[in-house]
Amino acid sequence: MAGFKTLGDLDLKGKRVLLRADLNVPVADGKVTDATRIERIVPTIREIVKADGKVVLLSHFGRPKGKVDPDYSLEQVAATVADVTGHPVGFVATDWVDVTNAQKAIEAAPPGSVLLLENTRFHPGEEVNDVELAKRMASLGDLYVNDAFSAAHRAHASTEALAHLLPSAAGLAMQAELEALEAGLGNPRKPVIAVVGGAKVSTKIDLLENLVTKVDGLIIGGGMANTFLHALGYGVGKSLAEKDLAETAKRIMETAERHKCAVILPIDGAVAWHFEANAPHRFYGVDAIDPDGMILDVGPSSIERITGAIDDASTVVWNGPLGAFEITPFDAGTVAVARHVAARTKAGKLVSVAGGGDTVAALAHAGVKDDFTYVSTAGGAFLEWMEGKPLPGVEALKAS
Ligand code: 3PG
Ligand code: MG
């Protein structure tokens, strides 16, 4: 990978390795409900253990706002890390003011141990990228490895300042993620199609403006498509739409035209009169939406058009569902298109990269989460990458 070291460039033998992971996983009733982020760091942990190094895991968990708060203790994640890695995990409490006990625990641990330190956000220095806190962290290790792409949009002590204080490298998960993203937008096989859905244009203006300068086609679905349809003069009835963003939508379409990016909007929609599962619905062309109804999904003609556009693409980058996929039957568009992308990928015709919280849930719902070339577990970091913004956690690895 250009620009920074990877795990293979470090001499791990017998070293204390600070491994920045993203253990900010969903927990309900004391149980981790989705361990994907933990699964992704297993290869890096194995390499360090194999070299008789000591793995010292660093992560944030939730948003405790710089205070020690048992509700946000990483201790509740330790057992799952042990389960998933198949390796005992020693949890080490610290307030990050005095790290002597952590130093001693790491010292006492035999080679090949895996230790998990307390939530880095228990100290206010974490979120302000405090170099003094980063120095205390650095005192606990010989090397720094970052496997937390999903936290790389934060310039925090454990993701940014720390990388400058020790010999640093991208871990295997970070490396895989950056390589997949490079294949998605950095240096992709053309033509490239972006699929962008979700409720609102307002949260994705930067993303849309960046994408239309880079990709050959932009498929817009979800509630945000209604804003574009409204901007083009179509009536969208009672659909979710940000009508005050009509000018923004027009500007995005103009930029797209200048950059020869085809904007593909729905041509029909599944219209219902109540937002609820199995609500009675009918399909309308976008030029004839019932004024009392709301568009909850793309219609069959749109699906045909979208899958046709995907057939002409070599790369697809996807963020956001195309309809209200949480309630049947308005998941139909998202599911059909996701399955089509998965099938083309399996057939070797397509490189497909997807990311963002809702997107991963939608792909899992369609049963194709494992059939894309790469699915990112990142939320905010994936969006900022799609916006074309440099990510501090990645940039710091390049600089060190
Ligand atoms: C995430 O879950 O998106 C990352 O762990 C970052 O968390 P944050 O949004 O609280 O910084
Ligand atoms: Mg977030």
User: Model confidence over 280-332: pLDDT tens digits?
Assistant: 999 999 999 999 999 999 999 999 999 999 999 999 999 999 999 999 999 99
Question: Which pLDDT score is estimated for 44?
Answer: 98
Task: Report the predicted TM-score, pTM, of the whole model to 2 decimal places.
Answer: 0.92
379 C-beta closer than 6 A to ligand 1: yes
17 C-beta closer than 6 A to ligand 1: no
How does DSSP classify residue 103? Answer: H
127 C-beta closer than 6 A to ligand 1: no
Q: What mean pLDDT comes out for the span 196-206?
A: 93
Q: pLDDT band at 2, cuts 50/70/90?
A: low
DSSP string across 79-100: HHHHHHHTS-EEEE---SS--H
Indicate if the pLDDT at residue 399 is higher than 90: no
Question: Which pLDDT score is estimated for 215?
Answer: 96
The CA distance from 355 to 361, in Å, is: 10
Query: Which residues touch 192 (CB under 8 Å, ≥6 apart)?
Result: 184, 185, 214, 215, 216, 217, 313, 314, 315, 316, 317
Mean pLDDT of the chain: 96
The CA distance from 226 to 157, in Å, is: 41
The CA distance from 322 to 371, in Å, is: 19
Q: pLDDT band at 3, cuts 50/70/90?
A: confident
Q: How far apart are the first and last CA of the chain?
A: 14
190 C-beta closer than 6 A to ligand 1: no
The radius of gyration computed from the CA coordinates of the chain, to the nearest angstrom, equals 23
Q: Which ligand is nearest to the CA of 72?
A: 1
The closest residue, in CA terms, to atom 6 on ligand 1 is 151
Alpha helices in 200-350 (DSSP H): 205-214, 223-231, 246-258, 300-311, 332-346
- For ion ligand 2, residues whose CB falls within 5 Å: 379-380
Whose CA is closest to 22, among 103, 124, 119?
119
121 C-beta closer than 6 A to ligand 1: no
Indicate if the pLDDT at residue 52 is higher than 60: yes
Q: pLDDT band at 48, cuts 50/70/90?
A: very high
Closest ligand 1 atom, residue 22 Cα = 5
Q: Which amino acid is at 336?
A: A
- pLDDT tens across 135-189, in order? 999 999 999 999 999 999 999 999 999 999 999 999 999 999 999 999 898 889 9
Q: pLDDT band at 225, cuts 50/70/90?
A: very high
Indicate if the pLDDT at residue 400 is higher than 70: no
63 C-beta closer than 6 A to ligand 1: yes
Q: Residues of the chain with pLDDT > 70: what percent?
A: 99
Q: How far is the CA of 351 from the centre of ligand 2 (A)?
A: 26
- Residues with a catalytic annotation lie at 37, 200, 357, 380
- pLDDT tens across 62-121, in order? 999 999 999 999 999 999 999 999 999 999 999 999 999 999 999 999 999 999 999 999
Backbone angles phi, psi at 197, to 5 degrees: -130, -160
Pocket test for ligand 1, best of 37, 61, 122, 150 (most atoms within 8 A of CB): 150
For 22, 148, 188, 193, the CA distances from 346, given in Å and listed in that order, are: 29, 28, 18, 17
Instruction: Return the higher-pLDDT residue of 321 and 30.
Output: 321
Indicate if the pLDDT at residue 378 is higher than 80: yes
Pocket test for ligand 1, best of 40, 129, 154, 158 (most atoms within 8 A of CB): 154
* Four-residue CA torsion sign, 339, 344, 348, 349: negative
Q: How far is the CA of 23 from the centre of ligand 1 (A)?
A: 10
